Amino acid sequence: MKRIEDYIGTAIYTTVLLFAGLFLVMPMIVAVVLSFDARSFLGAFPPTEFSLRWYREFLSDDYLHRGLYTSLIVSTIATLVSTVLGTFAAIAIDRGRFKGRATLEAMFLSPLIIPTVVTGFAVLIFTASLGIMDGLTRLILGHILITFPYILRTVLAVLSGVPKRYTEAALSLGAKPWLATIEVTLPLARSGIIAGAIFAFVMSFDEVAVSLFLSDPFTYTLPVALLTQMRASLNLTIAAISVIFLVVSVLLILALDKLAGVETLTGRGVYGR
């Protein structure tokens, strides 16, 4: 038998959750609705007329196109490089038996803790001292730095659910260590690697601070372009792009869930017993 206090408690709990949810979702709903606003200025909510003019604006804006193009190149290359490096770093840290593993892991994960402004500035100074002046190279280097920890972390999480006995079994059957890694460890960590790559791509694509430091007048990422344009004149192209971002992100997350499953991201291996 439920008591009246239980009902009151449940009601309060539900209400709080509902408001918290609304608070999180509301801004996005406003942005989505505004992206279809037909007015040429940023007017009161809700819009009185609807059109696709901001989407058309985005499609015809060369400045933004250039940003999108750079972003796609930077994020794709950075993700690929980080995925390869991060996966092997994770395997070394998880499977290896050497001193300083914990230190190495902390070092690799440090970009997660260091403020991105610091990272951006540091990479700028560092590349300059190496004589790298090319904006694209600089951006790619910076983005490898910020995406690497995401790969490392997801692959480490999935590896912790892959028993080391599989590697031992492969070795006992005559496989050399690197073949055991390629034929046994990597396939078993596959879901984590893909999840990490998608995660890294999303983080890179939407990164602002590091990109701001590393962009030059001709090489800039889409978020940097948006920020610059918004400061010059606030219009609703940014809302249209936000919606595109949102749709792509949701699709990627759905793909992630289908490929990897939620348990991978919570650290339990798909194949763990």
**Which chain residues interact with another protein by CB under 8 A?**
163, 165-166, 168-177, 179-180, 183-184, 187-188, 271, 273
Closer to another protein at the Cβ: 169 or 253?
169
Q: How far is the CB of 158 from another protein (least distance, A)?
A: 13
Burial label for 125, CB within 10 Å (0-12, 13-18, 19+), is exposed
Closer to another protein at the Cβ: 6 or 183?
183
CA dist., res. 173 & res. 169, Å (int): 6
Q: How far is the CB of 172 from another protein (least distance, A)?
A: 4
Q: In the beta sheet, which residues pair with residue 138?
A: none
Q: How far is the CB of 240 from another protein (least distance, A)?
A: 43
**Angle (CA) 47 51 57, round 5°:** 110
Ramachandran quadrant class, 254 (left: phi over 0; alpha: psi -120 to 50; beta: rest): alpha
CA dist., res. 214 & res. 224, Å (int): 10
DSSP state of 50: B
Q: How far is the CB of 196 from another protein (least distance, A)?
A: 18
Q: How far is the CB of 91 from another protein (least distance, A)?
A: 16
Closer to another protein at the Cβ: 157 or 243?
157
Closer to another protein at the Cβ: 6 or 168?
168
Closer to another protein at the Cβ: 27 or 272?
272
Q: Identify which of 158, 114, 177 has the alpha carbon closest to the alpha carbon of residue 260.
A: 158
